[in-house]
Amino acid sequence: MDFKSKFNNWAERINKALDGYIIEKDTPEKTIYSAMRYSLTAGGKRLRPVLGLAVCELLDGDVEEVIPFACAVEMIHTYSLIHDDLPAMDNDDYRRGKLTNHKVFGEAMAILAGDALLNSAFEIMLEASAREAEGGVSPKVLANRIKAMGIIAKASGASGMIGGQVVDIESEGKKIDKERLLYLHNHKTGELIRASVSIGAIYAGKDENIMSAFSKSLGLAFQIKDDILDVEGNCEKLGKKTRKDGEKSTFVTLFGLDVAKEMLKEETNKAVLALEKVCADTTFLKDLAYYLLDRQS
């Protein structure tokens, strides 16, 4: 199967699983389910969960088992976008070509939908783990589940993704240095991408850091590309306002477009090089790295 078909297959499995996790119940709080589903099904690339599945498979793990955790990461990613888009934060009206959550459901509901998605991530991971515990899996497996949840929790928390968003907000309108820019993105985008790779490895019974050189470079490349697209990208293809980072320091504003493009190539090559050291068929991940390099949205 070619890269794109394989990616789409996995993304579809994730979409199906996500669809089953958030059901529109006819209970008094039903609006929250619509608000959660709205953003969860708004056309995300599913990069993070697919990474988790791909890493798990190539390291000989059972992909089926990692799905709730991969979906949890996608829920956390989605909640972070809903909250980032709020008027008090980036104040964005469009995301992935659709109105942002608060534009459709109002600010209060958007805040709560974000809260609920973050909460839901832990609900589904804990439910899946409780089912396994009841099924009588070994203490080693249970310990591994707890470890995987802990890695995701730390990656998305104050010293992880949220911390990156704090630095982003506090850096607005200021010229920041390279060190701070790297810190910002290593946390805001990098942590969750690295966590996705780590849980894939853990579910395959491997050390969580076995592919961290790859995931670190991939995460950084991803962000540099985002900054380049913000300048060069097509607003329609991106589905959001471009050049909105005018008041923010980015890899492009800090180093210029040409250097940023060089950095992107360099980090992508570093990611691919890191894969060479993994004793497994890493073709899909290499293709993924180059696909992200060339993406237009």
Residues near a second copy, by CB under 8 A: 25, 27-29, 31-33, 36, 79, 83, 86, 88-89, 106-109, 111-112, 114-116, 118-120, 122-123, 126-127, 129-130, 133-134, 138-139, 142-143, 145-147, 149-150, 153-154, 156-159, 162-167, 169-170, 180, 183-184, 187
Of the pair 9, 91, the CB lying nearest a second copy is at 91
Min separation Cβ 277 and a second copy, Å: 28
Of the pair 57, 191, the CB lying nearest a second copy is at 191
Min separation Cβ 165 and a second copy, Å: 6
Min separation Cβ 34 and a second copy, Å: 11
Min separation Cβ 138 and a second copy, Å: 7
Of the pair 93, 236, the CB lying nearest a second copy is at 93
Min separation Cβ 158 and a second copy, Å: 4
Q: Are the C-beta atoms of 23 and 33 separated by less than 8 Å?
A: yes
Of the pair 16, 30, the CB lying nearest a second copy is at 30
Of the pair 60, 207, the CB lying nearest a second copy is at 207
Of the pair 152, 271, the CB lying nearest a second copy is at 152
Min separation Cβ 290 and a second copy, Å: 32
Give first-to-last CA distance, the chain, whole Å. Answer: 23
Give the span between the Cα atoms of 270 and 6, in whole angstroms: 23
